[in-house]
Structures are given as C-alpha cells and as structure tokens.
Structure 1
Amino acid sequence: MGYMTDERRLIQETARAFAMKEVLPVANKLDPEKGDIPPELIQKLADVGYFGIVIPEQYGGLGLGVFEYCLITEELARAWMSVASIIARGNGLSAGRGMTDAQRAVFLPRAARGEFLGAAAMSEPNVGSDLGAISCRARRDGDDWVINGNKYWCTFADGADYIMLVARTSDPTDPKRKHVGLSSFLIEKPRGTLPPGVKGAPIPKIGYFGWKTWELAFDDCRLPGSALIGEEGRAFYYISAGLERARAHTAARSIGLARGALEDATAYAQERRQFGQAIGDFQNTRFRLARMATDIEAARQLMYFVCDEIDQKRRCDKEAAMVKLFASEMAERVTSEALQVFGGAGYTTLHAVERYWRDARLTKIFEGTSEIQQRIISDHLLGKSRA
C-alpha cells in the first residue's frame, strides 16, 4: 500500500524547506549556547500552521491527520528536535479530551494560532512511569481548588501559556487501581512567568536545549473551579487515550534525528580525506552508512503504518509501542554511528552530529521508556493487555 500521495509529498517538501532554512541555522547557533527557541521562530511556526496541524478546520487548524503531523515532525527534528517537540504544545489540545464544547471553542483556535501553547506537569521527583503514584494534591475550597505538591520534568513551564497539571483529588480504594482519583487542571498564565503559588527552578540537563525543563513547587496554588478539565478522577484515561499519537510523534522525532546524523555523516564522508582518499571510499564507512540508512527506513515505514492505523481509528497500542521502541533505540544507535564517522570532530560542538546524538538518547526515556514499551508489547503477546 502506498502511503505517500502528491499532497503529502508537497507537505513534506514544504516542511523540509522550512526546517533547513528557518530552523537549522538557529539550532546550530543556539544549541551550543543552550539558548531558548526565539519568539520569532515560534511565530514563524504559527504562521505556517504547524501548531494546528491536527486541530480541526472548524477551530482554525489545518485539519490534517497524524500521518501529516509526523511527516512534518520528522522534517523539523532533522533540524532541531526541540522545535519538532514544541509543535505538540499546540497540537496536543486537538482532541480536547475531557473538554466541553465551550472550552474547545475557546482554547483550540488560540492553540492553532500558536497563542495557547502548553506545558505538562505530570511527573514528580519520585514519579516517572508510574503515574498512579502521583502525590501532588488538589483539594476543594468552596468553588476553588487548592494545589500542593511538587512536579518534575515540566518542559516549557515558563514560556507556555498554560500548564496542564495532573493532581490527586481522591485516594484509591483498591491498591491495584492507583490511577483512579487523578484529575486534570488547566492553569492559564502569562508567557514568561510561573503561576501565582508556584515556584520553580530549571533542571540542568545534557541536551534538549531550546527551552528549559523545570522542577515546580505548588504551595497553596489556588485555581477556579473552571480549571478542572473533564470529569474529576478521570485524568489517567484522558492521558492514555492520547498515547498512540504521542508515541508516533516521538518515533518521528527519533527518525528525524537519525536522518540528520546520516545526512551530515554522508556529506562528511565525501569531504574528509585520509590515506589519500575520501573516507567514504572505504568499505567500512560505506557499509556503515548503508546500515544506518536501512535502519532509518525500516523505522519510517513502521511509523507510516502506525500513523495510518491511528488516522483510520483502528486501535494500535501494541504497534505504537513497537515504533516508539524501535525508532528511539535506532536513533541512539544511528547517531552514535554517525559520530564515529566524524571521528574526533564528532566529539566537538563544531558539528551538529553531537546534538543529534545527545537528543536521541532522550527519546528512549520520554513518552514511556523503552522498558515500558517492551512491557506493553509483551503484555499483548502473552495475553495480559488490558483495555
């Protein structure tokens, strides 16, 4: 089955030109300085509609599918993964899970215009993959909610227009159903600030530059009753419903990183000379590049399949876990191989290959670690998967 139509090729080519012209030069300048994505670049992303790729046209979005979303994501990640990631901060609202029609009508057009970008506050200092262990609390106080607790790994907490918080509103009665009692809250705030009642500090990290990742402390942070999104106690289900798309998006980011490393390594292999010839003439280098390209294409074709399944509204949680696992593991391996082609030059910040390598390492951790993906896949194989 052919996935690529003329329309999709045009979308891909347009995104590729945008990434190479608008994103890559900014990435090459700012990533070594650990600088933030400039507001001007965020506005350019908004102008071409990339914050509303999957937001329905009735709300001002492009109304495209997950397939197109991942096509664009791969191109952006080839330039800078952080830019491929920030578009999710608008597109993430597209499903409006738990939102009322009135909330969708208010929030989605703003998100599509790039005027309502979010940050997710789910993980905690002692909570990563096990969301059921969340201890940050939200208690009712009249018509308001009061939040107390700590959050970790909240990327873009300062630059976002809102923080989507997951907090515990009730305790589970069944120890095996710890995820029950978690609720979602949308905390609006001005860009460049943290909400009242919230303090934070950036977490030092080895990559994923372009924006800051925060540790947050909620100290009697007061929210109006309208901040609750969806039904109380249903946050886990809203999160779970979006995992297939999130994992396809991460696969696309992984593939983009690997492709950037391959393209740079291929060019370097034709320029760099040793023993009187280009290193690309050595069989070891040529075969290394061939293996890298094959791994990338295998991941891409699996991603295309998963994206098509999602767009056709067919359940594919096992396959989404597979592509996230395969693509992220592939990206770390391929970017490392590319760095080897560069030799000592690859271990400097003078070439972008080290950025791809550092960022690829993260893809094995976020949106569910490789170990979590293997558990999901093996649960399906062994008949232990749950609806």
Structure 2
Amino acid sequence: MSEDGLGYMTEERRMIRDAARDFTIRQVLPVANQLDGPDAEIPMALRQKMAGMGYFGIMIPEQYGGMGLGYFEYCLICEQLARGWMSVASIVARGQGGWIKSAMSEEMKAKYLPRVARGEFLNASALSEPDTGSDLASISCRAVREGDEWVLTGNKYWCTFADGADYLSLFARTSAPASAGQRGEGISCFLIEKERGSFPKGMTGAPIPKIGYFGWKTFELALDGVRVPADCLIGAQGKAFLLMAKGLEGARAHTAARAIGLAQGALEDAIAYAGERKQFGMPIAEYQAIRFKIATMATEIEAARQLLYYVCGEIDRGRRCDREASMAKYFASEMAERVTSQALQIFGGAGYTKLFAVERYWRDARLTKIFEGTSEIQQRIIATSLLGKSEVEAMIAARAFDTQAARRGALA
C-alpha cells in the first residue's frame, strides 16, 4: 500500500492502519476462509477480540469508554477488516452508537455508549421496507402514540443482524407529510431494546436467502402491534429523515472503505497467485497481459482510496459532503467489482472454486454497488448537486406523495 503525500497519513494513523491489518491477517482471514458460507456466523470469540481492540467504539468519545477518533480512522480500520471478510468490517458499524448517537440525550449516551464501546450493545438498523429501498422518504411502517407507549405496525426489509443485535434503530412514520416537497417529514426513529437471538413481542423475522455477505443473517421483519415505551423515541418526533440523510453520508464512506478493502485483498491474492502459477514454462506474472491487469487494478484502488481520504477528512471537519460521499461510494464500489473480477480472471478456473478467497471478494464486492444506495442513486445525487433537480425528479416526488396518500386512505 502506498503512502499519501497530502498530509492525511500521520504516524498515529499509520499505526492504527497497520495494527488493523495485522489483526485481519492473523485473526479475521483464517476464520473467513474456514467459515464463509450461507450458514456461517461470525464467531463470538472473534467479536470479543474486536471489542478488545476497541473497534466497536472507534468513534465513541473517550468519556464513554471509546477511542474518540473520527471517520478517517474508522474507515482505515474497516478497509483492513474488509480485506479479510467484509461482514466483519460491517459488524463494526453495529457499534459506534449507530445512526442515532448524535440525537441521543446526554442521559442516553451515559447509559448506552459505554456498553456499545465494549461490544455489549450492538445495533441493527431497520430502514428499508418491501416496497421502499432507496426512496426512504416513502416508508409506511407506522408508529401511533397510545398513552405512555408507541405502537408500531408494518414491515421492514434488509435488516441485517436483526436477530443478534441488542437493539434496533427503527424508522417509522408518526405523521403524514404536508406536501410532495416534504415527504421526509413525519418520520421518527425508535431505539428498541431486545434480547440477543430473539425479537420483541409482536415482531417476527424471516431470513432472506443471499448469495454472499455471509457470517450473519439478513431479515424481513413483520411488526404487528410492537409496543415500546414513549422514551424510546430518538430525537425530535417527525424529524428523523434528516438523521437518516446525515447517517448515510458516513455509511457511504464506510461502504467505500469496505469496497477498497475487498479490492485490495483480491489484488494481493492475484499478485501472489500470478507469481506461483506457471504456464508455458514461466510464471504468468511474466506475461504482459497479466502485468497490465495488475497495474490497472492497483491504480484504480489507489484512486478510490485517495478520494475516500478526502471525504473522511471533510466529514471529520464537520462539513456536509453528500456529493463527495456519493462520489467515493460510487467510484469505489464500481472499482471493486471490476478489480475483483479481474483478480478472479487471473486465477482462471481456480478462481471459480471455493478453494481461494477471491470468489468471496468478488461476491461481496457486487453488493457494495447496491447497499447504502445503488450506483444509480449515487449518480442521481451527484447529478442533482451539479445540475439541480430535474423535472422528472419533481414528477416522481409528486407521484410518490400521491401513493403515500393512497396508502393512508387504505389504512384509515
């Protein structure tokens, strides 16, 4: 891995990165190579080692037992963890205080964040729904206030780690939007505590079969009158859409880091294999076709990494950078699919087996183009920031508002 010349990589950050790489090579990669598959579970022993490294509290303030670091260090660590197993780089995000840390009261922070930093209070986020993916302003899961409780009804989709988490960050509609231009209004966030390995009363979960992202399960959730205390509301009622939008900025940087880690793992494995595999009397690394593939792969990885460094720096400085975060996520995820595919090609038939990790990198890289907003959604965000909203977008927003109104009428 190269060093950068823009002052991002301080000596402390190099030490953090190198420690994470060493942890990944020694602790994560052997477990991933042994266990990755549809029925795999990230071992509790590995999670405890991660907690010992402080990885669940990277961005939690030191006063609550965390490391007190920023998105830059968080993404440095997650890139290295993804080089071993993307799911391990992802479970780190179930710490950090999740989407809701910034909206927690001081009392909540004192109660929950020390447990989060120790890896004892991990999150699963329930945002998407069966009919609502990237258009999160259209969620229809409802929360109705009844006395000292909220009653939640509806469905959630793509909730990874819903069974193993200690709490859910669940977004639901508490009131209707006033207009098509304010469709995100009326969405609220709830912290729902639960026992590990089970769901709250009134909630059921069905695992979604996946082609990758193994090590944990992803669920469709059905909520039928789930009751939670009134003080489970996080932040102001009806204002959680902004919480989602801000959280997605950091989540997209995190996805870029994971994509870069996958690509780096594929590159390193391809280089090693090309030096060992002989055809026509010499290692395939001697052939120009392979050498040029590797040169291109390395260049694309480094370009994505430097863009991510810039974005993380901007987030840590407190500047909103939705466009740049979308650029980093879009570029890195598209790059990761190309690079891991090229790495698999270098392996030839051996790459299309379960005998090498490159097939895992390839499968998981494909997902980075989908979650936290598809590549097409990132392009839309970037284009809108440069050109303004199109007439088509305004028409889509109006149509979605009409659809929401129809749903409300059917449920009334």
Q: TM-score per shorter chain, which class?
A: over 0.9
Say whether residues 1:247 and 2:252 are aligned partners.
yes
Indicate the residue corresponding to 2:68 in structure 1: 63
Which of 292, 300, 310 is matched with 2:297 structurally? 292
Aligned to 1:326: 331
**Pairwise CA RMSD:** 1.4
Distance in 2 separating the partners of 1:314 and 1:198:
38
Distance of 2:83 and 2:321 partners within structure 1? 26
Question: 1:379, CA displacement in angstroms?
Answer: 1.1
Partner deviation per Cα, 1:137-182 (whole Å, 9 max, x = no partner)? 1111111111111111000000000011101111112133221111
- The correspondence for 2:320, drawn from 311, 315, 323, is 315
1:147 aligned partner, one-letter code: L
Q: 2: CA distance between counterparts of 1:125 and 1:384?
A: 26
Q: Give the partner amino acid of 1:296.
A: I
Aligned match for 1:10, one of 10, 15, 24: 15
Indicate if the aligned counterparts of 2:326 and 2:381 stay in contact, CA closer than 8 A.
yes
Code of the residue aligned with 1:48 in structure 2: it is: M
The question of whether the paired residues in 2 share the 8 Å contact of 1:81 and 1:359 is answered with yes
Relative to the length of structure 1, the TM-score reads 0.97
Unmatched tracts of structure 1, length 5 or more: none
CA–CA distance in 2 between the matches of 1:139 and 1:103?
23
AA in 2 matched with 1:281: E
Counterpart CA distance in 1 for 2:219 and 2:320 is 34
Q: Map 1:148-227 to 2 at 5 A.
A: 148-227=153-232
Residue 75 of structure 1 pairs with residue 83 of structure 2? no
Residue 231 of structure 1 is matched in structure 2 by: 236
Query: Structure 1 residues 364, 33: closer, same or farther in 2, change over 3 A?
Result: closer
Matched, 1:276 2:249: no
For the residue of structure 1 that corresponds to 2:223, the secondary structure is strand
Equivalents in 1 of 2:98, 2:323: separation in Å? 23
Contact 2:37 2:215 in 1 (8 A): no
Q: Is the 8 A contact 2:97 2:113 kept in 1?
A: no
Aligned residue in 2 for 1:20: 25
1:136 aligned residue (141, 148, 152): 141
- The amino acid across from 1:278 in the alignment is P
Equivalent residues, number: 386
* Partner AA of 1:20 in structure 2: I
Would the aligned equivalents of 2:79 and 2:258 in 1 still touch at CA under 8 Å?
yes
- Kindly indicate whether the alpha-carbon contact (under 8 Å) linking 1:329 and 1:364 is maintained by their aligned counterparts in 2: yes
Contact 1:93 / 1:111 at 8 angstroms: preserved in 2?
no
Equivalent AA in structure 2 for residue 83 of structure 1: V
For 1:123, give the aligned amino acid: S
Map residues 299-378 of structure 1 onto 2, 5 A cutoff: 299-378=304-383
Which residue identity lines up with residue 165 of structure 1 in the other structure? L
Which residue identity does 1:132 align to in structure 2?
A
Quote the Cα distance in structure 1 between the aligned partners of 2:9 and 2:140.
Answer: 45
Name stretches of at least 5 consecutive residues in structure 2 with no aligned partner: 1-5, 391-412
CA distance in 2, matches of 1:346, 1:283: 20
The question of 1:108 aligning with 2:113 is answered yes
The share of aligned pairs that are identical, in percent, is 67
**Cα drift, residue 314 of structure 1:** 2.2
Paired residue for 1:54? 59
Residue 208 of structure 1 and its aligned partner are, at CA, apart by: 0.2
2:100 touches 2:169 (CA, 8 Å); kept in 1? no
1:260-297 superposed Cα distances (whole Å, 9 cap, x missing partner): 00001110001111111111111000110000000000
**Cα deviations across residues 213-247 of structure 1 (Å, max 9, x unaligned)?**
00110011111111111111011011112222111
Give the partner amino acid of 2:319. Answer: R
Measured in 1, the distance between the counterparts of 2:314 and 2:238 equals: 29
The CA distance in 2 between the partners of 1:145 and 1:124, in whole Å, is 19
Deviating 4+ runs (over 4 angstroms)? none
Distance 2:290 2:267 in 1: 12
Task: State whether residues 304 and 331 of structure 2, in contact with CA within 8 Å, keep that contact through their aligned partners in structure 1.
Answer: yes
User: Contact between 2:100 and 2:234, CA under 8 Å: does it hold in 1?
Assistant: no
Q: Return the alpha-carbon distance in structure 2 between the equivalents of residues 232 and 381 of structure 1.
A: 32
Q: Distance in 2 between matches of 1:214 and 1:341?
A: 35
Alpha-carbon shift at residue 94 of structure 1 (Å): 7.9
* Contact residue 253 and residue 329 of structure 2 kept, 8 A: yes
Written as runs of structure 1 = structure 2, the 5 A alignment for 1:113-124 is 113-124=118-129
Query: 1:55, 1:94 within 8 Å by CA — same for their partners in 2?
Result: no
> Residue 185 of structure 1: SS of its match in structure 2?
strand
TM-score normalised by the chain length of structure 2 = 0.92
Give 1:126's aligned residue: 131
Please state if 1:98 is matched with 2:103.
yes
Task: Point out the structure with the larger helix share.
Answer: 2
Q: CA deviation at 1:32?
A: 3.3
Question: Is 1:379–2:379 an aligned residue pair?
Answer: no
Provide the rounded CA distance (Å) in 2 between the counterparts of 1:247 and 1:122: 15
